[in-house]
Copies of this chain bind each other. A is one copy, B any other.
């Protein structure tokens, strides 16, 4: 199994469902981890740091909707895409699902094809911290597994948002990202934050990158956004 395959957290209370899903996901090359109820799910999120979450609506102990709400209210987990899975087709549920911040919504019965398509779409959108991958740019080394960043061998101290911001930049150095795109990838979908907030965090990232000296590697592209190098 590829070390860098995306890790999917499957949350469902029915063991048969979980087995079916993990089987299919793994034969598509994903890595998986399971949880049987809401509390297990939250635990798994903080311990495993999945790249994406398949979340059943009906769960013992903590409902799927509540799990989602909690995930989306924390900075550390906000950016992880959540796909809600539900047997209920009522439109009201879809709305509630999306309003708690779910990134997508799938109604049972769904085909594996549909699920995989949505999975791919959501992963494509929001995968800044390529799990396990080590990115490098002009002496800056970002390790997605240990969450450590060094510059010219010296360890840098940076907060979670700065880390995600930097890893977005490093995924494609010298590509210009608009503030909106950065909000989408670093902060997450449907989050209402002023675009100027990006400026502030860029400033913080610059300070963090320069804490042991060195040129500022972040380029301001007036009227367009920011880029690395």
Contact = CB atoms under 8 A, between A and B. Distances in A.
A213 to B, nearest CB: 24
A196 B180 CA distance: 34
Interface in A109-151: 109-111, 113-114, 117-118, 120-121, 124-125, 127-128, 145-148
A70 interface: no
Contact of A221 (B110, B124, B127, B147): B147
Contact of A180 (B127, B176, B180, B227): B127
A183 B121 CA distance: 11
For this chain, the copies found in one complex come to: 2
Contacts of A94: 107, 110-111, 114
Interface residues of A, number: 43
A125 B222 contact: no
A224 B46 CA distance: 25
Given A223-B160, A227-B147, A95 B124 contact: no
Nearest to A185: B125
A178 interface: yes
Contact of A125 (B145, B176, B184): B184
A133 B221 CA distance: 17
Nearest to A113: B95
A99 B121 CA distance: 10
B146 A178 contact: no
A118 B145 contact: no
A176 B147 contact: yes
B113 A175 contact: no
B159 A222 contact: yes
Interface in A78-121: 89, 91-92, 94-95, 98-99, 107, 109-111, 113-114, 117-118, 120-121
B98 A121 contact: yes
Contacts of A222: 159-160
A189 interface: yes
A111 B127 contact: no
6 contacts: A95-B113, A98-B117, A121-B190, A147-B224, A147-B227, A160-B222
Which 4 pairs between the two chains have the least Cβ-Cβ distance?
Answer: A160-B223, A146-B174, A124-B180, A91-B114
